[in-house]
A and B are shown apart, each in its own frame.
Chain A
Amino acid sequence: MAKSKTPLLDELEKGKWPSFVKDIKQAAQKSPMAEDLLQQLELSYKDKIGHWKHGGIVGVKGYGSGVIGRYSDRPDLFPNVQAFHTLRVNHPTGWFYKTDALRKLCDVWDKHGSGLTNMHGSTGDAILLGTKTEHLQPCFDDLSAAGFDLGGSGSALRTPSACVGPGRCEWACIDSLDVCYNLTMEFQDKIHRPMFPYKFKIKVSACPNDCVASIARSDFSIIGTWKGKILINPAEVTIYAGSDLDIQKEVCDLCPTKCMEWDGKTLKIHDGDCNRCMHCINLMPKALRPGKEKGATILVGGKAPIVQGALLSWVVVPFMKLEPPYAELKDLIERIQDWWDENGKSRERLGELIKRVGMRVFLKAVGLPAVPQMVKAPRSNPYVFFWPEEIQKEVK
């Protein structure tokens, strides 16, 4: 038997977890691009470095984003991946698919590319991993005919994403899928034609469990929440009391605001003190439900570390009702983006810009009132700035 050309990668075919190496080999049966990818990756495993480089902007007609250009630094050894660009395909909101749509996607990709994908990339898009420059446009044409479009990349609005929300989750306080789809359709131009200082991400979670990590991974985070009392179903509480859940220890004692009381029979919640963390609802889904007046908290500024350190999004609108056509929400997004576009330096994310100029300037510019929900605590340093109009003019 011939000796394997990929002894290192072969090691990763062993073990119980599904192996990406098997998938690359499977695609390599049909595609010389996938075969060269496999061989180049083996070389990376041997050399302990990557073998890709940047260079040359590539794309499809009319769009400035959606394609990531990539070139091998060893085209002499791996000519079939000399150019190996990926297409970011905007996923159906919530990552729901009917198989006929998925099969169409596969057929298009087998025709034009390596046959390898990421389902899905960390951007949320379906990633079609690797093809040659001349295949990009025909591939896009066929994708479009199959009902798919590209997602965002570069200094554009990135493909928005949402938690499963009302599609399957009883805790959804907003229609995360509809909000996300609606914004995606409204902002097609901003997704496909980069014109911002840098990237801009919107993610929608329908409750504070934040299953799409919008607080950590988006510049504009929309998180469902409620006002008023948590709804209690006493009969179900009694059933939980008889189960192996220890209501005192596991629910009340872990409530961060200590606003729950349990006397062995009745569960009381002092809702004014509750900060809607979801813990009790998570543990007793049959007995407790979010309150009736539902909406979203809007937070901004979240980003990964580059350049000035990671930020989590912070509150700018404590409560906004979200109902189609979401005019108030869209208006706020536009105002914020316009301000950022005008004032942001190149490659400065929204959060960094606000950090640089101050919340005071941001709030005034986009017309939002300062409220205590925005901070953990008021400032403790005395370097307070006032607007000129707040200063008493000299009396002559």
Chain B
Amino acid sequence: MAKTDIGPPDYKTMLPPVISRNYGKWLYHEILKPGVLMHIAESGEALYTVRAGSPRLISTDHIREICDLAEKYCDGYLRFTSRHNIEFLLDDKNKVDPLIAELTSLNYPVGGTGHAISNIVHTQGWVHCHTPATDASGPVKALMDEIYDYFVTMKLPNHVRIALACCLNMCGAVHCSDIAILGIHRTVPKTDNTRVPNVCEIPSTVASCPTGAIRGDMKAKTVTVNDEKCMYCGNCYTVCPAMPIADPDNDGISIWVGGKVSNARSAPKFSKLAIPFLPNNPPRWPEVVEAVKNIIEVYASHARKHERVGEWIERVGWERFFTLTGIPFTDKHIDDYDMATETFRTSTQFKWG
């Protein structure tokens, strides 16, 4: 019988000796070049971090290749970042360039530091989830191919965080990203009245709907959806397989901009709607790639140094954002959903008194 509740391995056993020795005693850091950080400790010791991109969905053999590299260059110590990057942790400066050379020869992008576009946080999409309105890995790959140069350089006004979630459940919590790519359904689930009685339990189906849009029809042993209340979340399909929400022609992608998480300068903020709908066009989603590239380019050429996308837009004004990017403003951009709690302090910015 396997032991339960042992918890994850103790991170202290995973730290490279240079980190164990200087834990909590770091003095400053420098970005030596794109993808390379140098942290200097009070002891004078240095830690070199080499950051490389990954597609997130990786095979065990790919992980073993990463292990080989870590063993060859940094005694087997590495970490992953919350944005799915791989970081090699070195204590020997002389090994940095040979590592980068080998990474480059194996087609790993090295970068994602400083004023760059780091890896795109994303979710499962068609690879593993049951309610996606679009794929996740595919649009990410197509977009990263096109903006690759911004990953391996640091030439933007500030860093640009991009995230993708494949439905409005937003597992990737994309709602505070500089640019968020969000899959949306636009049509109500298609209830198959002949199958509902056999495969679905009516009370739990009714209860699954967050907006109360589903009514049980006990006589016909099926359910009806109030189209006006449905906001296309797909929860009902989770409980009732006879209510598929996917719609190949009407599912697609929306683009949101100007969110941030860090408290630097301005408070954290939500991303706001820029483009309500773009079609799903696999395998390379050209409309989505073009739209995101356009926003990045306009930001790159108009924002002041250190301005995040949202800070730039707030300085110039949203009306100018739409003019500069050429994105049409529509009635969809005007909020008509309930949003309150505006007076809560959603930041760590306050005075002690």
- Which chain A residues have a beta carbon within 8 Å of chain B's beta carbons? 8-9, 11-12, 14-21, 23-24, 26-27, 34, 37, 41, 44-45, 47-55, 61-63, 68, 70, 73, 84, 86, 90-103, 105-106, 109-110, 115-120, 122, 124, 129-130, 140-141, 143-145, 147-149, 161, 163-164, 166-170, 172, 175, 177, 181, 184-185, 188-189, 192, 208-213, 215-217, 223, 225, 227, 250, 254-256, 272-273, 275-279, 282-283, 285-286, 297, 299, 301, 304-315, 318, 347, 355, 359, 372-380
B330 proximal to A (CB < 8 A):
no
- Give the complex CA separation of A245 and B108 in angstroms: 32
Nearest first, the 4 closest Cβ-Cβ pairs linking A and B are A15-B145, A166-B24, A314-B344, A312-B346
**In the complex where A23-B55, A297-B348 touch, is A167 in contact with B170 (Cβ < 8 A)?**
no
- Give the complex CA separation of A44 and B137 in angstroms: 13
How many whole Å from B91's CB to the nearest CB in chain A?
12
**In the complex where A53-B241, A144-B6 touch, is A27 in contact with B60 (Cβ < 8 A)?**
yes
B176 proximal to A (CB < 8 A):
yes
On whether the beta carbons of B210 and A306 are closer than 8 Å, the reply is yes
Query: B345 touches which one: A141, A285, A376 (CB < 8 A)?
Result: A376
- Interface centre among B76, B77, B282, by most A CB within 10 Å? B282
Q: Which residues of B contact A52 (CB under 8 A)?
A: 126, 128-130
On whether the beta carbons of B211 and A106 are closer than 8 Å, the reply is no
B49 proximal to A (CB < 8 A):
yes
On whether the beta carbons of B138 and A122 are closer than 8 Å, the reply is no
On whether the beta carbons of B248 and A170 are closer than 8 Å, the reply is no
On whether the beta carbons of A119 and B2 are closer than 8 Å, the reply is no
**In the complex where A54-B239, A116-B57, A181-B11 touch, is A277 in contact with B265 (Cβ < 8 A)?**
yes
* 1/0 contact string of B327-353 vs chain A (CB within 8 Å): 000000000011111111111111111
Which of B62-70, B94-102, B217-225, B293-301 lies at the interface? B62-70
- Which chain B residues have a beta carbon within 8 Å of chain A's beta carbons? 1-11, 13-15, 19, 23-24, 26-29, 39, 47, 49, 53-64, 66-67, 70-71, 76-82, 84, 86, 107-109, 121-123, 125-132, 135, 137-138, 141-142, 144-145, 148, 151, 168-173, 175-176, 210-211, 233, 237-239, 241, 246-249, 251, 261-266, 268, 270, 280, 282-284, 305-306, 337-353
On whether the beta carbons of A285 and B352 are closer than 8 Å, the reply is no
- Give the complex CA separation of A118 and B352 in angstroms: 42
On whether the beta carbons of B60 and A115 are closer than 8 Å, the reply is yes
- Give the complex CA separation of A169 and B2 in angstroms: 37
Q: Which residues of B contact A379 (CB under 8 A)?
A: 343
Q: Which residues of A contact B270 (CB under 8 A)?
A: 310, 312
Query: B59 touches which one: A84, A115, A256 (CB < 8 A)?
Result: A115
How many whole Å from B164's CB to the nearest CB in chain A?
10
How many whole Å from B123's CB to the nearest CB in chain A?
6
Q: Which residues of A contact B337 (CB under 8 A)?
A: 309
How many whole Å from B2's CB to the nearest CB in chain A?
4
Name 26 A/B residue pairs within 8 A (Cβ), A-sorted. Answer: A12-B283, A18-B108, A20-B56, A27-B60, A70-B130, A92-B9, A92-B11, A97-B14, A97-B79, A106-B63, A115-B59, A118-B56, A122-B122, A124-B82, A141-B1, A148-B9, A175-B24, A208-B263, A215-B346, A256-B266, A277-B349, A279-B264, A301-B344, A359-B344, A376-B342, A376-B345
- Give the complex CA separation of A49 and B148 in angstroms: 28
On whether the beta carbons of A306 and B233 are closer than 8 Å, the reply is yes
**In the complex where A181-B11, A314-B344 touch, is A172 in contact with B24 (Cβ < 8 A)?**
yes
On whether the beta carbons of A54 and B241 are closer than 8 Å, the reply is yes
How many whole Å from B53's CB to the nearest CB in chain A?
6
On whether the beta carbons of B345 and A99 are closer than 8 Å, the reply is no
- Give the complex CA separation of A322 and B1 in angstroms: 37
Query: B39 touches which one: A45, A49, A115, A170 (CB < 8 A)?
Result: A170
Q: Which residues of A contact B349 (CB under 8 A)?
A: 208, 256, 275-277
On whether the beta carbons of A86 and B128 are closer than 8 Å, the reply is yes
Query: B343 touches which one: A106, A116, A141, A375 (CB < 8 A)?
Result: A375
On whether the beta carbons of B57 and A118 are closer than 8 Å, the reply is yes
On whether the beta carbons of B2 and A144 are closer than 8 Å, the reply is yes
Give 16 new A-B contacts, CB below 8 A, not counting A15-B145, A17-B141, A377-B343. A14-B145, A17-B148, A20-B58, A54-B238, A90-B7, A120-B56, A120-B84, A163-B82, A166-B23, A254-B265, A306-B233, A307-B210, A309-B339, A315-B345, A315-B348, A376-B343
Which residue in chain B gives the minimum CB-CB distance to A249? B305
- Give the complex CA separation of A394 and B171 in angstroms: 54
On whether the beta carbons of A149 and B11 are closer than 8 Å, the reply is no
Query: B8 touches which one: A24, A92, A217, A223 (CB < 8 A)?
Result: A92
- Give the complex CA separation of A347 and B239 in angstroms: 14
Which residue in chain A gives the minimum CB-CB distance to B131? A50
- Give the complex CA separation of A52 and B75 in angstroms: 41
On whether the beta carbons of A17 and B145 are closer than 8 Å, the reply is yes
How many whole Å from A194's CB to the nearest CB in chain B?
14
Which residue in chain B gives the minimum CB-CB distance to A308? B338
On whether the beta carbons of A272 and B261 are closer than 8 Å, the reply is no
How many whole Å from A181's CB to the nearest CB in chain B?
6
- Give the complex CA separation of A109 and B60 in angstroms: 8
- Give the complex CA separation of A331 and B96 in angstroms: 45
- Give the complex CA separation of A17 and B111 in angstroms: 12
On whether the beta carbons of A117 and B79 are closer than 8 Å, the reply is no
**In the complex where A9-B283, A52-B129, A282-B264 touch, is A184 in contact with B176 (Cβ < 8 A)?**
no
- Give the complex CA separation of A124 and B306 in angstroms: 29
Query: B9 touches which one: A68, A147, A189 (CB < 8 A)?
Result: A147
Q: Which residues of A contact B210 (CB under 8 A)?
A: 306-307, 347
**In the complex where A16-B109, A117-B58 touch, is A273 in contact with B351 (Cβ < 8 A)?**
yes
- Give the complex CA separation of A12 and B284 in angstroms: 7
- Give the complex CA separation of A381 and B116 in angstroms: 44
Q: Which residues of A contact B129 (CB under 8 A)?
A: 50, 52
On whether the beta carbons of A116 and B59 are closer than 8 Å, the reply is yes
On whether the beta carbons of B341 and A311 are closer than 8 Å, the reply is yes
Q: Which residues of B contact A86 (CB under 8 A)?
A: 128
**In the complex where A18-B108, A192-B5 touch, is A8 in contact with B283 (Cβ < 8 A)?**
yes
On whether the beta carbons of B169 and A98 are closer than 8 Å, the reply is no
On whether the beta carbons of B233 and A47 are closer than 8 Å, the reply is no
On whether the beta carbons of A119 and B58 are closer than 8 Å, the reply is yes
Which residue in chain A gives the minimum CB-CB distance to B56? A118
- Give the complex CA separation of A218 and B169 in angstroms: 15
- Give the complex CA separation of A53 and B265 in angstroms: 44
Which residue in chain B gives the minimum CB-CB distance to A217? B173
On whether the beta carbons of A90 and B8 are closer than 8 Å, the reply is yes
- Give the complex CA separation of A3 and B350 in angstroms: 63
Q: Which residues of B contact A106 (CB under 8 A)?
A: 60, 63-64
On whether the beta carbons of A16 and B148 are closer than 8 Å, the reply is yes
Query: B350 touches which one: A62, A93, A255, A318 (CB < 8 A)?
Result: A318
Which residue in chain A gives the minimum CB-CB distance to B172? A122
- Give the complex CA separation of A109 and B81 in angstroms: 22
On whether the beta carbons of B338 and A304 are closer than 8 Å, the reply is no
